[in-house]
Structure 1
Amino acid sequence: MKKWILATSVALALLGCANEASTPALPQGVSFIEAVAVKDGQVGIPYKKYRLANGLTLILHRDDSDPLVHVDVTYHVGSAREVAGRSGFAHLFEHMMFQGSEHVADEQHFKLVTEAGGNLNGTTNNDRTNYFETVPSNQLEKMLWLESDRMGFLLPALTEKKFEVQRETVKNERAQRIDNRPYGRMDEKFNQALYPLGHPYSWPVIGWPADLDRATVDDVKQFFQRWYGPNNATLTIGGDFDEAQALAWVDKYFAAIPSGPAVSAVAKSLMTLDKTRYLSMEDKVHLPLIRLGFPTVYARHADEPALDLLANIIGGGKTSLIYKDLVKDGYAVQAGVSHPCQELACLFSVYALANPAKGGQLAEIEARIRDAIAEFELRGVTDADLEKAKVQFEADTIFGLQSVSGKVSTLALNQTLAGNPNMIAADLARYASVTKEDVMRVFEQYIKDKPSVVMSVVPEGMGQLVAHQDNFQAQLLPAVADTATPIRVESVIPEDVDRNKVPLPGAAPLLKVPTLWQDKLANGIAVLGTRSQETPTVELVIYLDGGHRLVPVAKAGLAGLTAAMLNESSRSHSAEELAQALEMLGSHLSFGASDYQSYIKVSSLSEHLDQTLALLNEHLFTPAFDAADFERLKQQQLQSLEHLKSDANYLANQAFSRLLYGEQSPLGVSSSGTLASVASLTLEDVKAFYAEQYTAGNSQMVVVADLPQAEVMSKLAGFAAWQGKASPLPPLAPLPEPHAGTVYLVDKPGAAQSVIKLGKLALPYDATGEYFRAYLMNYPLGGAFNSRINLNLREDKGYSYGARSDFSGGSELGQFSASSSVRSDVTAPALSELIKELKRYHDSGLTDSELAFMRSSISQGQALDYETPYQKAGFMRMIQRYRLPADFTARQAKIIAGISKDELNRLANNLLDINQMVIVVVGDRASIEAELSALGYQVKLLAL
């Protein structure tokens, strides 16, 4: 720890003289605030900060490692700025801000960003709303034009129709993410009990449905004028750009936007509860859930770090007391503790998913949680506890700097909530300074014997499982009458700025495909690597051909269960001891399995790679295969399968795969297995699969590190003694006859939404063949936000929160699918529209403008493909797995540039015949079956 604390101190000292950095000449009205530099070996984000005369804060972070820029506009407005009866406005505005502005046509924002090869989104929480785009670096001016137009010129384009469509979209989002999701309504009910009546965190960010129904266009316009001025915003630009040019563009497009009304800080106060509040709800779930919450402080309070470390010690991972007392003993399938902080409040939160096999009584689970808390008080804080939590915080901070978007988001959030982008070194210092006495003090002050909120969520009809009889009843305040809000002055366009003209991009940046190296261990294991020196980290992934595909259908779930066992104890150490050793290094290690491979993922700080690999070797080569671990993990997997039955998307995917591939094929059965297959598994099955799967002959490695090739290979030399041949895949079962012309209905009684999925068998993966061309063909249909099916179902009809289609392929088989979650009451019309779009595309193909859009979007988007270590690792894995030539991306670029509309249309005609497609609908049979039948399809009930 001394080394880390010293480095933090040096970083803090460095920042004292950082303002001496040079700055470009400033446009009139732009003021320089500060410059922060970070020397090699220190943790931080270099940036320059400016402010415009209208109050807009500008932060610039230069990073030329990849030819891209990330633009973020964060407004200091979230649901906490709303008032009772008018909830959901901030989130609704997140949607409205993508619907065009005075000089940007309807749906043009998405089109322009996607066509430029970028991606975009917006998010809203209690405290802020942000909008962001990542694009090739030559597109920066266009992004600033777009963002400035919706900041200064949104209202002239805000129509009643747009408002109604986006209100329906928000309702669909709520139905998908809350009403139709297991435990989806828990948070909003829990928060009503935790926060005082009328507290701005007491209502959901997405809003109460009644408030959304009551809202008018004028309400929304007034909310925009109050909160979306430049003086309440931070514009952050990160990536490869010229600073002087960026300053000139920001001045050109943003300076004329007038300030909004003054914004004052929201008052902060510590919350307390007068007594423990119990509440409960029944839901369409299998696993009873209990959640305890203790109100603590607020973000950046002096006690926040000690409370974070306390949460880590009591309930963070396998070394925690909560894990030992609940999960290890099998009383809970999952359990954990966290201390999330927001601007106005933090929460010490404990949760546990009870194991029905142990009775599922939440009163007993609550007692065990409180016993674990009492055990902590008796045991106290050890030196190892403190060091582990601090090292993890440092490592997580470093891993968070691996992408430009991550760094920009950090700068923007710190500026918005703390008024200072430069908080990383200060945060490291304040966590490093926490003592054992600090942790015990905050435990005594905020947790010990303090009232809490205790919420039980139990399966329908099983109210006897709740922890305690309810003693709290939520209330809603009456809607607050709106008050007059100062109206912003209209933006005035300077004479030398033509806002009707879309800025042209600069010269296309050079694509920086990672420079790869190939090598082999002495036993023949292939290693594919690249050097990335942006952070002192190593990402290693070991892939083993086989996975679920290697397993007989009768033993489905075995690959995943075996991987889970390898995450447990070794012959020399317990799982808890191994987890403790990893945590003390700030490293992450996990075994997993998917359809065609098992895998091992390792993340490590470079300086700790040797110790991390030693722990990997112990897990991999000397597993204990303990009988008690096996029984616990098997029980967890069974309970997880029961839980998944309440997930409509899982049900749709399972039904679709069964119909496409058949029940006798491993591709037709979930890699998680079935209740019958998992129940039949034995510890001997695990040992046998381990011997078959985890061999050198099945293995390949991908590594992204800041170390040179020779050093990486020397550190991997311990794997050269690994032996064993490759395991051949068993033959696939014959494919079933197509089930076309029928709607297969999976009943989910009371579902707020229906999940629609339709498609057919298609092509196996091919990087430069017909499969790749099919991907290009599908892009305008359902591969982008402004694709045909998404614009139809979401933007035009308001039926869905989103719709998409794609081709997916492996080494043997592939499929085409189109899917959407839609409001239950429009299931049949939504299916009809989806089928119409597929038929139209099959018959007539794409247009010239869609062809141009596809070419521009996909070709320019390659600039974003290799930024983070895991993106690089994924790119290398594709080369390795499918034995692709080193220049395959250049070949793809040539195909994109040269493919004709006629060829793409022939593919659409060959591959998108609706009469060959399987149709699956998961929803409330009682309310949707008759209308589905009226479409002319035979409706068959499918049981899973």
Structure 2
Amino acid sequence: MSSRRVRPYIMASVGMLICTSLVSCQNVSRLSLHDASEPQLQLAHEKYQLDNGLTVILHQDNSDPLVHVDVTYHVGSAREVPGRSGFAHFFEHMMFQGSKHVADEQHFKLITEAGGELNGTTNSDRTNYFQTVPANHLERVLWLESDRMGFLLDAVDQKKFEIQRETVKNERAELIDNQPYGLRDERIAQALYPPEHPYSWPTIGYVEDLNRVDVSDLKQFFLRWYGPNNAVLTIGGDIHIEQTKAIVARYFSDIPAGPQVEKAKPDVVSLQDDRYITLHDQVHLPLLQKTYPTVYARHPDEAPLDVLADILGGGKNALLYKNLVKTGQAVQAVVAHPCRELACEFQIIVLANPEIVPNLALIEKAIKETLDEFEQRGVVADDLNRVKAGIKANAVFELQSVEGKVSLLAANETFYGTPDLLDEDVRRYQSVTKDDVMRVFHQYIKDNASVILSIVPADQDDMAARTSNYRVPDRVIKARASERLTTRKTVSEFDRTTVPEPGPAPVVEVPPFWRSQLANGVDVMGIYYDETPTVTLSIGFEGGVLLEPIEKAGLASLTAMLMNESTQHFGNEEIANELEKLGSQVSVTASGRFIQVEVSALTRHVEKTMALVEEKLLRPAFNADEFERVKAQLLEGKRQQAQDASAMALQARDTLLFGSHNRVSLPDEGTITSIQSMTLADVKSFYKRYLTTHRAHAVIVGNVSERKAKDLLSFLEGLSDQAYDIPQYLDFPEYQEQAIYVIDNPLALQSVVMLVKRDRPFDATGPFFKSQLMNFSLGAAFNSRINLNLREDKSITYGASANFIGGKTLGWYEVRADVQRQSTALAISEILQEIKTFREQGITAEEMRFMRSAYSQFDALNYETPVSKAFFLRKMMGFDLPVDYRRQQLAIINSITEADINTIAQVGLQPDDLQIIVVGDKQQLAAQLNALGLPIKTLELPQ
């Protein structure tokens, strides 16, 4: 489960596997790439240790006025005992519930009002807590982190414990139990590892285990694992080293050490025979996963196994893509080798196309044939060239932020005691040979036993690869004698009750940019950026899905997908191979109002990359066989989407807001009916008519000059300049009464609840922007009234939010929460009541202060990376914003009054105007929804 990171609405959640291998761990500041024979790559840092055992790592990067603080505790679900699963993650939630000197929910509030971001993640091997804030708030963050490290138990009580226990249950229901394929990892772990193995249970835990623990267990967990001697504090960004050391000493040095923690030892497993298991789920696309046990993180064989995974399933040149995806047997086929502290897994995952493949036995047979083919073919030169180029490129691209560098330093220190392993990581992959790859293939994969999981629709056992031959042993929870630790008392010589005041706010300027035009009139904007030798580029064509006739909905998406295939001079695999050898990425997408071409490349390869972009954009092949394959993939994806509650809710929202007769009411990718009607001639016609320079623009961020940028984009002059109009919308529906529209999702454990109404389109300084200011404390912040009510007070959801959403010509207001099925009606009532109360009673002075502070300070985080800079340029160009729009916004934030906010609320918040959408088990919900006294209507979604 990935962490939810939406500013300013932020949640804590379970994290992914630790970052240990390949390209996902590297980053440097102002990096120069070298060949393996050249000088080492280094990530500058200073490491030291306090007397209590706390390891501190400092990384100075003054390029942006922000800091990122990470506290990593070397404890995850692998430190739990059977019968107490989920406790590490549960405890992560408790760490946000206040400590002796920090009030309940104050941590979220202080970071949000600083214009910052925060979160926490838990995985099997560690738990981390992190914040990114403007640099002047560093001391406040360290005060917060030290208070929960030294004084958490002073504030723990039974009420907070019960609230967070329910929140974790809601999280599990929303993200695992109520999601298609959500139980995949859990089932495989149960079959792959013995019951006593720390990886055999899920990080989020079992509900019965969560019900078993009590507040005393929580306190003992804290005392055992949350001492400073089991933690790494990493601080990066715009810091002064000596001043930062002094602040760290002030807040952390008096916290006493905890019990000694022994380093976990690798615990790899092996299988004697294949274990077949079957999982029935609400899915359309059956899934087959083969999982082989291998080694452990940083084992010498980890790198060649990663390379093997890429060769078999890492892209369009992978063997599984050729044998399964190109033949139409699979919608997707990937191979991964995730590694953790104790063990790694080699995973082959295939989403089958049920229109072609009647059962997963055929997929398993195709996988075996592919492995046999690899053994005969061996490793070719480009296999290694692609992987090694990707490692070097992603060492820059994936972690260009201070957060990325801090995360790398923290993880490496936590697991290996060496913060900077950048050079070693790059070199160990560069040294992988063909013989290494073939050796690990024979040692760990060929003829080795694996866990084979089939996920099939309910009551379709015949689709499974084979009848299950393995039964997960019943859980036997043994009584265990546990150590009873006494509370460690932190005694400070200063007053910790006072919240540190931030220093002077940093002056944040909009990045200097240039604006020009190509010879054919295409607008171009750019920012010179030299912190990394990279180029991030985007070309947009306005209109996108709005240009399609409704009976051909999805045509823009299908056209964009085919532009990612063959060109007139390069086959699909050939052009993908050339891009991967450069370490470049190019993708064409159609979403909302634009068809977008996104490009990322190392500066030294940008000319070669843009030559391939030119091929894709000016000379797509539009081959018939590729059209049929991509169209089939799109159709199967739509059939799978019909099982997804979130997708159903979004489609219901658009249907109610804009009417089924309007193109904007349908998903970007269209419907099954509209996709089936499309022909290759439709695609060619759409491309020729609308991929022109008439409404095109481009943005570029990188260490290239304006002149160079325009040269790189000059090929756009080869496009037609034919003009076109974007069609006007047809009339939108009007509603005479409020009603509940139910979309039946049988057996769903949760309900997706949405309340929606049309509203204003986006503006930077007008009614839309002011409505956002008004709504911030009602529904947009974590500490908003709606979220605190449903999540913290009622404990019926993992999170609830309300937001004004606006595009260039359309806008709406929506409130959303995924809630317990039995609390669906309660959630609706509480949301409506919160809106009504806010409208009638108005904003409080404290909420006003909170909003002003949050909205006026987030610029420090807004322009850090090339991607964020490119987003800023696209926004300015797409909405034709004035250069000083942010200054105008700040003036509004500082001058708007409570009376102004209340007037906006009274006009804009009409609870009775909100149409209510519920995606859930209609039969189970009938009684409680009827009790609301509103008309209940069944909504059939377009197919």
Identify the TM-score tier after normalising by the shorter chain: over 0.9
The one-letter code sitting in structure 1 at the alignment partner of 2:774 is M
Q: 2:820 aligns with which of 823, 827, 831?
A: 823
Q: How does 1:603-642 map to 2 (within 5 A)?
A: 603-642=600-639
* 459-468 vs 732-741, greater mean Cα deviation: 732-741
**3-state SS, counterpart of residue 540 of structure 1:** strand
**3-state SS, counterpart of residue 163 of structure 1:** helix
The one-letter code sitting in structure 2 at the alignment partner of 1:343 is E
Report sequence identity in percent.
Answer: 50
**Distance in 2, Cα, partners of 1:79 & 1:757:** 34
**Distance in 1, Cα, partners of 2:183 & 2:474:** 16
Q: Is contact 1:546-1:727 (8 Å) kept?
A: no
Q: How does 1:618-767 map to 2 (within 5 A)?
A: 618-738=615-735, 740-767=737-764
C-alpha distance after superposition, 1:183-242 (max 9, x if no partner): 101110111111122110100000011100001100111011100110010000011011
C-alpha distance after superposition, 1:365-402 (max 9, x if no partner): 01001111110000000111111111111111111231
**3-state SS, counterpart of residue 153 of structure 1:** helix
Indicate how the Cα distance of structure 1 residues 882 and 6 shifts in structure 2: closer, same or farther if over 3 A, else same: closer
**3-state SS, counterpart of residue 648 of structure 2:** helix
**3-state SS, counterpart of residue 696 of structure 1:** coil
**Distance in 1, Cα, partners of 2:795 & 2:751:** 14
**Distance in 1, Cα, partners of 2:826 & 2:34:** 64
**3-state SS, counterpart of residue 457 of structure 1:** strand
Shift in Å at residue 162 of structure 1? 0.3
Counterpart in the other structure of 1:914: 911
Q: 1:522 aligns with which of 519, 522, 527?
A: 519
Shift in Å at residue 488 of structure 1? 5.4
**3-state SS, counterpart of residue 721 of structure 2:** coil
Q: Is contact 1:335-1:351 (8 Å) kept?
A: yes
The one-letter code sitting in structure 1 at the alignment partner of 2:741 is Y
**3-state SS, counterpart of residue 269 of structure 2:** coil
Q: Is contact 1:288-1:360 (8 Å) kept?
A: no
Q: 2:842 aligns with which of 831, 845, 854?
A: 845
Counterpart in the other structure of 1:322: 320
Q: 2:585 aligns with which of 577, 583, 588?
A: 588
Counterpart in the other structure of 1:556: 553
**Distance in 1, Cα, partners of 2:847 & 2:169:** 30
Shift in Å at residue 717 of structure 1? 2.2
**Distance in 1, Cα, partners of 2:331 & 2:454:** 15
**Distance in 2, Cα, partners of 1:937 & 1:906:** 28
Q: 1:929 aligns with which of 921, 926, 929?
A: 926
C-alpha distance after superposition, 1:236-267 (max 9, x if no partner): 00110111111111100001111111011112
Q: Is contact 1:697-1:724 (8 Å) kept?
A: yes
Shift in Å at residue 739 of structure 1? 6.0
Is it true that 1:875 corresponds to 2:872 in the alignment? yes
Counterpart in the other structure of 1:897: 894
The one-letter code sitting in structure 2 at the alignment partner of 1:751 is A
C-alpha distance after superposition, 1:775-800 (max 9, x if no partner): 11111011111011000000111110
Counterpart in the other structure of 1:833: 830
Is it true that 1:228 corresponds to 2:229 in the alignment? no
The one-letter code sitting in structure 1 at the alignment partner of 2:268 is L
Q: Is contact 2:760-2:810 (8 Å) kept?
A: yes
Counterpart in the other structure of 2:796: 799
Between Structure 1 and Structure 2, how many residues are aligned? 911
**3-state SS, counterpart of residue 713 of structure 2:** helix
Q: How does 1:252-291 map to 2 (within 5 A)?
A: 252-291=250-289
What TM-score does the superposition give when structure 2 sets the normalisation length? 0.95
Shift in Å at residue 869 of structure 1? 1.0
Counterpart in the other structure of 1:21: none
Q: How does 1:505-516 map to 2 (within 5 A)?
A: 505-516=502-513
Q: How does 1:106-121 map to 2 (within 5 A)?
A: 106-121=104-119
Indicate how the Cα distance of structure 1 residues 488 and 388 shifts in structure 2: closer, same or farther if over 3 A, else same: farther
Structure 1 unaligned residues grouped into runs of 5+: 13-42
CA RMSD after TM alignment: 1.3
C-alpha distance after superposition, 1:43-67 (max 9, x if no partner): 4421110100011010101111111
**3-state SS, counterpart of residue 150 of structure 1:** helix
Q: 2:444 aligns with which of 446, 458, 467?
A: 446
Q: Is contact 1:226-1:486 (8 Å) kept?
A: no
**3-state SS, counterpart of residue 218 of structure 1:** helix
C-alpha distance after superposition, 1:513-532 (max 9, x if no partner): 21111111111111101011
Q: Is contact 1:11-1:425 (8 Å) kept?
A: no
Q: Is contact 2:618-2:718 (8 Å) kept?
A: no
**3-state SS, counterpart of residue 456 of structure 1:** strand
**3-state SS, counterpart of residue 589 of structure 1:** strand
C-alpha distance after superposition, 1:312-346 (max 9, x if no partner): 01111100100000000000011111111111111
Q: Is contact 1:558-1:681 (8 Å) kept?
A: yes
Counterpart in the other structure of 1:602: 599
Q: 1:57 aligns with which of 51, 55, 64?
A: 55
Q: Is contact 2:691-2:719 (8 Å) kept?
A: no
Q: Is contact 2:223-2:487 (8 Å) kept?
A: no
Q: Is contact 2:268-2:294 (8 Å) kept?
A: yes
Q: Is contact 1:83-1:480 (8 Å) kept?
A: no
Counterpart in the other structure of 1:210: 208
Shift in Å at residue 482 of structure 1? 4.0
Q: Is contact 2:32-2:532 (8 Å) kept?
A: no
What TM-score does the superposition give when structure 1 sets the normalisation length? 0.95
Shift in Å at residue 512 of structure 1? 3.3
The one-letter code sitting in structure 1 at the alignment partner of 2:435 is E
Q: 1:192 aligns with which of 172, 190, 193?
A: 190
**3-state SS, counterpart of residue 492 of structure 1:** coil
Q: Is contact 2:32-2:533 (8 Å) kept?
A: no
**Distance in 2, Cα, partners of 1:44 & 1:909:** 57
Q: 2:297 aligns with which of 296, 299, 302?
A: 299
**Distance in 2, Cα, partners of 1:256 & 1:334:** 54
Shift in Å at residue 9 of structure 1? 4.2
Q: 1:410 aligns with which of 391, 399, 408?
A: 408
**3-state SS, counterpart of residue 843 of structure 1:** helix
The one-letter code sitting in structure 2 at the alignment partner of 1:380 is G
* 551-560 vs 261-270, greater mean Cα deviation: 261-270
**Distance in 2, Cα, partners of 1:690 & 1:290:** 36
Q: 2:859 aligns with which of 857, 862, 866?
A: 862
**Distance in 2, Cα, partners of 1:905 & 1:871:** 33
**3-state SS, counterpart of residue 697 of structure 1:** coil
Q: Is contact 2:567-2:622 (8 Å) kept?
A: yes
Shift in Å at residue 360 of structure 1? 3.6
**Distance in 2, Cα, partners of 1:843 & 1:494:** 46
Q: 2:133 aligns with which of 135, 141, 152?
A: 135
The one-letter code sitting in structure 1 at the alignment partner of 2:783 is N
Is it true that 1:484 corresponds to 2:450 in the alignment? no
